[in-house]
Structure 1
Amino acid sequence: MDFRELMESKYREMLANYMENPSEQALYQGQKFSRKSIEHHVSPEEIIMLHKSLLEELEPNLSAKVIQSFDILLEVMMGYGLAYRELQSLRHKQHEIKTEIEIAANVQQTLLGTDIPSVEGLDIGALSVPAKLMNGDYFHFVEDENQNINVAIADVIGKGIPAALCMSMIKYAMDSLPESRNTPSTVLENLNRVVEQNVDLSMFITMFYGMYSLKSHTFRYASAGHEPGFFYCGETKVFSELEAKGLLLGIEKRTKYPQYEKKVNPGDMIILMSDGVTECRTENGFLERESLIGFIRKYIHLPAQEIVNNIFRELEKLQQFQLRDDFTLIILKRNV
């Protein structure tokens, strides 16, 4: 016997008990019945029709006007019931979509994962936190056979699943590059051709690619329209921008990317970031680059990973713990 076959007898018993003794316990039985009705997809108008028919049976001398008033209630609840069922359907679909996105986010995290190199003389810290479930930022490290630490940081201008798919494509292209990597300018030229052929023109991708030589302690880099990083000189205690010019990836197939070079001495630092760091929105507007430098100075005595973690906490606090954009920050700090 299904629920609807039991529903009439159970409701009759519950209604009769309440009419005889209108107690809190009887009302609680009504709440339990309501939950069961929802579980078995019984509509509100079905409950009202049942209530009306049972009331006529239990109280045959009840005023006809009172009985007729249920017709108005029934009409009202028919529209309500339709809207309620649509809401339940939307909630079910929303739950399915959320589950799928969570699975996709876990896959993305595994796919885009990279190990932070641990090498003598160079302290590296990195953190990437998505504003939503899916990350539109990407960073990657490769230690090649020539004792170079290759570092890439990219940002899709946009959020959500389209940005995440673009990042997955960039990761695949990066993995397809030769182990030696050649030079930063060559890497960006190769990636630019891949993006130009495979990404819609409405999607914009910026990238910074650097190559740190552990032999000569020089940092060669090129940029495809990416947020400029900082260079900190340990001797003078001065921050300067890592200026680099270059067109965004995928705009023009034959784009050439100028290459730059910095000598890195003990105590020097290279700071790379996505625009989610520099465009952090506070109550007073966007975060000034000088304010960001102030946070770096505050924690500069700490290991690179702790600097990165502390800056993230500071900026997260400024945004009331609600990131408006994906956050990625990388610090390379020469110790000796």
Structure 2
Amino acid sequence: MEKYKRLLKQYITTKDESALYKADRFSKDSLQNNISPDEIVQIHIESLTSLYPNLPEHVMLSFNFLLETMIAYGVAHKEFQALREKQMELKSEIEVAANLQKSLMDTKVPEVEGIEVGAISVPSRQMNGDYYQFLKDRNGNLSVTIADIIGKGMPAALSMSMIKYALNSLHDQRSQPSEILDVLNRIVEQNVSSEMFITMFYGFYDTNHNKFHYSSAGHEPGFLYSQETNQFTEINAKGIALGIKSPAKYESNSVKLEKGDMAILLTDGVTECRCGDQFIDRKEVLNKIQEFKHLPAQEIVQKVYKHFEQIQDFDLKDDFTLILVRRKH
């Protein structure tokens, strides 16, 4: 207080700006010593009344008013700083999770004789709750996984990591899709928080017989496009989301793909796109695929995404993931 009192007297007496510089240093030192704004005001009042004990009553009342104001400000400022620190911690966690997720999502589409694949996955925010993966086994068959993780941040990214490495270890075992989901369900149920669960569609394309075998864990139904009939039919299989309960039963189905046929897998961010306040009709997704079906598979998914991005004014409301598997010959 004595230091502040000397600086105050120096400035009032001399109007020397060097005193203002020293006051600036005083404020910085006070900040480092965790002195609150209302304590600074109190120091000022005590210093000024010591120098000028006969200050008018209205001046003293104004100081009391200022002091109460700064006390309230100090409390609000501390709350703001605490909130800001939490936000910075959350931002840091999200950045770490997003980087981890990016490395996990860096899945390449393998070249498989006789089929072509198109895939696109775009997050609505920094983190992507959707996941997809392609794996080619030693016999040239292709497994396709598409999932929607109900949860965000680092736990979701770690769940993706767990799923990825579990699939890597399972895909060469020639297991049925239902068996793959059964194993994954036990892994998720035992290792993931009960507040988070995962929907998944797992497909296996047998290149020798041109059959697409698939199972679903509560995931958005896919579609099969028949070039012969020029029609779409829904493909689905019974099964609950991963992580809800164990054991669980998953149904396996299969369909043969003829030349030009397509298996279409997606997340609900595709079928639940919005145009204004209204959800689109699922048929609109199929209509756009129909419109672009003459293009290569990768161009089809990109064109479909661009269309729905545009009708949503380039503001996705949910993660958008779309995969096409088409038999070429």
State the TM-score bracket (shorter-chain normalisation): 0.7 to 0.9
Aligned AA for 2:96?
I
Which shifted more, 312-321 or 89-98? 312-321
AA partner of residue 254 (structure 2): E
Partner of 2:191: 198
Deviation at residue 77 of structure 1 after TM alignment: 0.9
Match of 2:116 among 101, 123, 132: 123
Task: Tell me the percent identity.
Answer: 49
The amino acid that maps onto 1:299 is F
Q: CA deviation at 1:269?
A: 1.6
Question: How far off its partner does 1:134 sit?
Answer: 3.3
Tell whether the 8 Å contact from 2:104 to 2:160 is kept in structure 1 after alignment.
Answer: no
In structure 2, distance between residues paired with 1:313 and 1:17 = 70
Quick one: distance in 2 between partners of 1:160 and 1:13? 56
Matches within 5 A, 1:262-281: 262-281=255-274
- How many residue pairs were aligned? 324
Unpaired segments of 5 or more residues in structure 1? 21-28
Task: Give the 5 Å matches for 1:1-336.
Answer: 43-49=36-42, 52=45, 63-177=56-170, 179-251=172-244, 253-336=246-329
Q: How high is the TM-score relative to the length of structure 1?
A: 0.80
8 A contact 2:129–2:151 mirrored in 1:
yes
What CA distance in whole angstroms lies between the structure 2 residues aligned with 1:297 and 1:34? 72
- C-alpha displacement at 1:148, in angstroms? 0.3
Supply the distance in 1 between the matched residues of 2:222 and 2:157 (Cα, whole angstroms). Answer: 23
Partners of 1:279 and 1:44 lie apart in 2 by 51
Match of 1:23 in 2: none
The question of whether the paired residues in 2 share the 8 Å contact of 1:112 and 1:168 is answered with no
Tell me if structure 1 keeps the 8 A contact 2:210–2:258. Answer: yes
Deviation digits for residues 35-73 of structure 1, max 9, x if unmatched?
A: 968975663324534655676699898644224311211
Structure 2, gaps ≥5 residues long: none
SS of 2:322's equivalent in the other structure is: strand
The two structures, once aligned, show a CA RMSD in angstroms of 3.6
* Contact 1:135-1:163 at 8 Å conserved across structures: no
TM-score, normalised with respect to structure 2: 0.81
Report if aligned partners of 1:145, 1:180 keep a CA contact under 8 Å in 2.
Answer: no
Moved more, 240-249 or 264-273: 240-249
Distance (Å, rounded) in 2 between the aligned partners of 1:296 and 1:233: 12
